[in-house]
A = this chain, B = another copy of it.
Amino acid sequence: MNIGQAAKLGGVSAKMVRHYESIGLLSTAKRTASNYRVYSEKDVHILRFIKQARTLGFPIEHIKELLSLWHNQRRSSQRVKELAQKHLRELDTRIRELSEIKATLENLMQHCHGDDRPECPILDGLATKNLRLGRPGTVRVK
């Protein structure tokens, strides 16, 4: 099948399929005489695997390793679980960071009237407070 159908069945865009090939997540696809990429059912399975892992937020580099573990019949499930646990910790960290930001923002908003008067504790807070969010660390909101 062509890239369009493989992408559709795999639940990703054709654009992403080419991208995954370019970064070595997928092996180089065979080509027809007219240079069209050709895919098999197996490739569709791989695309689905990638899609699911991306849905869970695994970064591409981890997915690369997960794919190789998946294909390796002599793998140990230990490494897989390690990767999952690492990702879980990152999710936890992120959730905590965002929750701290949320709490700080709610705190600032609490006393803002939100009417036509200019007084605004939110602006005052941004201007003068030293907004410390829990433990210091990189705050990435997205």
Interface size on A, residues (CB 8 A): 59
Interface membership of A16, Cβ < 8 A: no
Residue of B nearest to A77 (CB): B120
- Indicate which residue in B76, B95, B133 contacts A118 across the interface (CB closer than 8 Å): B76
Which of the candidate stretches A1-9, A19-27, A32-40, A104-112 sits at the interface with the other chain? Answer: A104-112
Chain B proximity of A117: nearest CB distance (Å): 6
CB contact under 8 A between A104 and B141, given known A82-B114, A109-B81, A114-B82: no
User: Contact at A123–B73, with CB atoms within 8 Å?
Assistant: no
- Indicate which residue in B45, B66, B80, B125 contacts A112 across the interface (CB closer than 8 Å): B80
User: Contact at B74–A118, with CB atoms within 8 Å?
Assistant: yes
Using CB atoms and an 8 Å cutoff, list the residues of chain A in contact with chain B.
Answer: 45, 48-49, 52-57, 66, 69-70, 72-78, 80-82, 84-85, 87-88, 91-92, 94-95, 98-99, 101-102, 104-106, 108-109, 112-120, 122-123, 125-127, 129, 131, 133, 139, 141-142
Query: What 8 pairs across the A-B complex have the smallest Cβ distances?
Result: A57-B141, A81-B114, A77-B120, A76-B116, A52-B126, A91-B102, A80-B120, A81-B112
